[in-house]
Amino acid sequence: MDNARSISRTYRAAIRLGEDYITLEETITLPLEASDEEVQQAVGLGWRIYQAQHEALEQQVRALREAHPLPTPVLVRDPDAPASDKQRGYIATLQDHLTWNNEQLASYAAEQAVDLVTMTKGQASGFIDELKKLADERVRYSTENRGRSNENLANQPASARQMQALQRIAEKQGLELESVIAQRFGVQSSELSNEQAGLLLSELQARQGRSQS
């Protein structure tokens, strides 16, 4: 059994496909004693794989939606009859998706003029539609915020640890770091972004590996 300690980082996004929710994940795992160069290389590679998978999945979702347009809304039979067990079960499922407690659900129902105890099939159908909209908006908001957060991180200036790691590996390879940065990105080291530093670390690490093989 391998007792080596390690640390993992997971990129995750929730995507809605029809009535289902798909979670896309990409995880990188490194031993605790990994060097700064190895960490930056793994993070950069994991992020690029995650972005590629995310974009591919979104294209598939768009293609499926275009090929299968939304069906005509189903008419509720006996709209004045009491809400069915199936409708109540679906409301409970949406409540879980929204992570609401019973008080929050009851409060929202009151805002919609719906009595959860005596509601009819017609009222339950409309209430379900509103809950689905809220659940969809929450997933979309979470995904967009996560994307903006990752984008902001990529555009931040390179960290001191990244620059130190770049300097060390450049010295090992007999390279002038400022010249390498200018040639690769057309900027000075003080203008290097977090994402650019990660890419350059990966490239220099790969070059070092080839020279040692």
First to last CA, the chain: 30
Instruction: Dump pLDDT digits (tens) for 154-205.
Output: 578 888 888 998 899 889 888 899 988 888 888 888 888 888 888 888 888 8
3-state helix, strand, coil in the chain (%, to 5): 65, 15, 25
| 35 vs 10: which has the higher pLDDT | 35
Phi, psi of 17 (to 5 degrees): -125, 105
Please give the distance of CA 179 from its chain centroid, rounded to a whole number: 35
Q: How confident is the model at residue 70 (pLDDT cuts 50, 70, 90)?
A: low
User: From CA 77, how far away is CA 54, in angstroms rounded?
Assistant: 40
Q: How confident is the model at residue 102 (pLDDT cuts 50, 70, 90)?
A: very high
Residue type, 70: L
Q: How confident is the model at residue 209 (pLDDT cuts 50, 70, 90)?
A: low
**pLDDT at residue 1, rounded to an integer:** 42
Asked if 197 contacts 166 with a C-beta cutoff of 8 angstroms, the reply is: yes
User: From CA 123, how far away is CA 121, in angstroms rounded?
Assistant: 5
Average pLDDT, integer, range 85-111: 89
- Look up tokens 């019973």; give the residue: 102
Instruction: Dump pLDDT digits (tens) for 109-155.
Output: 998 899 999 999 999 999 999 888 888 777 665 555 555 555 565 57
**pLDDT at residue 91, rounded to an integer:** 92
Instruction: Dump pLDDT digits (tens) for 38-69.
Output: 777 777 776 777 677 667 767 776 776 666 66
